[in-house]
Amino acid sequence: MVLTLQSFAENRWVAPGAGAVEIPSAVDGRVMATASSAGVDFGAMVRFGRKVGGPALRMLTFHQRAEMLKRLAVYLTERKEALYELSFDTGATRRDSWIDIDGGIGTLFAYASRGRKELPSERFVLDGAFEPLSKNGSFVGAHILTPLHGVAVHVNAFNFPCWGMLEKLAPTILAGVPVITKPATATAYVAHAMVAMIVESGILPPGALQFVAGSTGDLLDHLTGQDVVSFTGSATTSGKLRDHPTVSREAVRFIAERDSLNAAILGSDVTPESPEFDLFVKEVAREMTAKAGQKCTAIRRVIVPRDRVEAVRDALAARLGKVAIGNPRDEKVGMGPLASQGQRHDVRENIAKLAAESEIVFGDPLHCAVVDADANAGAFLSPVLLHCANPIRAERVNHVEAFGPVSTLLPYDDLDQAIELAQRGEGSLVASAFSYDAEVTEQLVMGLAPFHGRLYLVDRDSAKEATGHGSPLPPLVHGGPGRAGGGEEMGGLRGVYHYMQRTALQGSPAKLTALTKTWGQGAPTRTEGPHPFRKNFDEISIGDTIETPARTISLEDIEHFANFTGDTFYAHMDEEAAKANPFFPGRVAHGYLILSFAAGLFVDPAPGPLLANYGLERLRFLKPVSPGDSIRVRLTVKTKRAARLPDYGEVRWDAEVFNQNNETVAQYDVLTMSARLA
């Protein structure tokens, strides 16, 4: 059955208009689907996102949005088999589809969890601490992040129809911004099926997700500075979109992730006998064949010490020779076809360009034996390994990206040359360094880091659990400078903040505390009423404060503490040695003694709603405390957030310990868990 792909605009499916394109199966060429966006009113789509989707998302807190992402992830997991079945026809093996489908759903789970743990139960983020701006502290600054009021246009590549969509969708929805997503047409039927599931789930509010099957028409003409375009694909299309008159006139945020000639470098310390040698060969072969090399992160340039080229070539050829190519539905098959005949044509053309300055040492670009398929009907291509003997003189190996199972061996004479070769990629998403030598690794990292978004450092110690050169992960930045597009995706909350505006606020501490729901130095405190440890989470207010009486610390206290804990460090026990230390006037109290006495001063001991102290943050000891000094504490409720379990809440307290001269001797945040009102 041929699927008719529809766009989902203004909360309804729009039947395709004229000029639908046919999308063939990569495996046998039969028409899988037709797609056209003719008939879609892109202006209305953008307005619907802005007027309906945006406000609905912005009404929710980060925690509520995170909850939606999690429900969506569960919903898709329960239905993913249908996606796996469709995905075979894109040329993907089950393992390839696992990266795409489960990898994409995993991104939803990851952002749901981060949103819940690392973002407040609010609609804005306070970015960093208050900044003092005046001598007497009555005027301070702070930064907040709020969701943009526009739409996020996501334009995706053909290689990962599910992951590509979800790794952009998750941070955007968490930020509170509606999405218009457009998959590459070649594999749009898989993205379409996933969007149909999302729509059917009813989990996202109307307008939060719209979908374009086919071309984007005049979509970009309707954008403003409140919108974002996030693109994955070729440098040519990226350039076109970035230079679109509306995008440049309106300063529309533009995030691009595009062609990248990623490198893997075999360290100069690695011999064929080292474990790192086998790890290197395995990784290169895997990257060449996973997803038939159609990965933005795949290894295109294999940079090895000149005297080890033959050993690497032979080992790679042996591995590649064992990969069965054919129908991805067949479990014996390790590599399926490319996404389309057109894609294979482009890859063959690029192999020919590379071969002008390199020799093919493995594979035949024009023929390959296939399993369980018709070699002519599907877009099958053998892995092709080239060798460029003089890469420093060569041009094309550093410019031509054959987006398929194609890599080139580049010999180097010393590490500086290896770095120079990697840098000639003019900015890449990722490079791998295989070495067990700390100095070699350091030299590579310092040379490669400015040219790469991610460095994958592998050795025998990490190999077993290492996640793979080609796998972008939600907590880590995915993107790269220069040729790789200059964008950054994911990277934990960094990816969320791309869809938000950072704004500096200036005002009194009281005003900024009220606005940000975070107590800052100089804001009013409240000491009346019961001890705050006697209050339930819901009764506690930001600014509630305990001012304790003072306690004098004696030499006996210090000695007792030292002997009791075993911390008999000379600064506490040996007057002469302590005096010789530039930081101490003589024997001083332990920092931990100060913390312990501080707790003894502010605690309310009886059982009550305060249940546990689960940590300290930002701890600094600012001034030594000598025998005879007195300390007192001010403990103020700084922030409150609902805990994962409904019966509890987390309270962050600002703790400041003063001496008898009102100088701060220690400062930190205390984190506690309190019961909520029943």
CB 409 within 8 A of CB 391: no
Non-local CB neighbours of 359 within 8 Å, separated by 6+ positions: 386, 387, 389
Residues in contact with ligand NDP by CB under 6 A are: 155-159, 182, 184-186, 215-216, 232-234, 237, 240-241, 257-260, 296, 346, 401, 403
CB 269 within 8 A of CB 440: yes
Site of tokens 């690695």: 270
Task: Please tell me the distance from the alpha carbon of residue 559 to that of residue 261, in angstroms, as a whole number.
Answer: 63
Burial class (CB in 10 A: 0-12, 13-18, 19+), 143: middle
CB of 96 to ligand NDP, least distance (A): 14
The encoded tokens of residue 62 equal 């980060």
Number of H helices, E strands in the chain: 20, 29
Residues in the chain, total? 678
Task: Please tell me the distance from the alpha carbon of residue 32 to that of residue 47, in angstroms, as a whole number.
Answer: 32
CB of 164 to ligand NDP, least distance (A): 8
List the one residue out of 158, 167, 189, 154 whose CA is nearest residue 102: 167
155 to 228, 447, 452: CA distances (angstroms): 11, 32, 23
- 145/220 with CB nearer ligand NDP: 220
User: Strand, helix or coil at 19?
Assistant: coil
CB atoms within 10 A of CB 371: 14
β-pairing, 630-642 with 551-552?
antiparallel
CB 547 within 8 A of CB 655: no
CB 173 within 8 A of CB 179: yes
Residues 216, 218, 221, 227, CA torsion sign: negative
Active-site positions read: 257, 296
Three-state SS string over 58-123 comes to HCCCHHHHHHHHHHHHHHHHHHHHHHHHHHHHHCCCHHHHHHHHHHHHHHHHHHHHHHHHHCCCCC
The encoded tokens of residue 182 equal 């457009």
Site of tokens 């989990």: 203
Task: Please tell me the distance from the alpha carbon of residue 117 to that of residue 124, in angstroms, as a whole number.
Answer: 15
Partners of 360 in the beta sheet?
386
**Phi, psi of 620, rounded to the nearest 5 degrees:** -140, 135
CB 289 within 8 A of CB 383: yes
Task: Please tell me the distance from the alpha carbon of residue 393 to that of residue 389, in angstroms, as a whole number.
Answer: 9
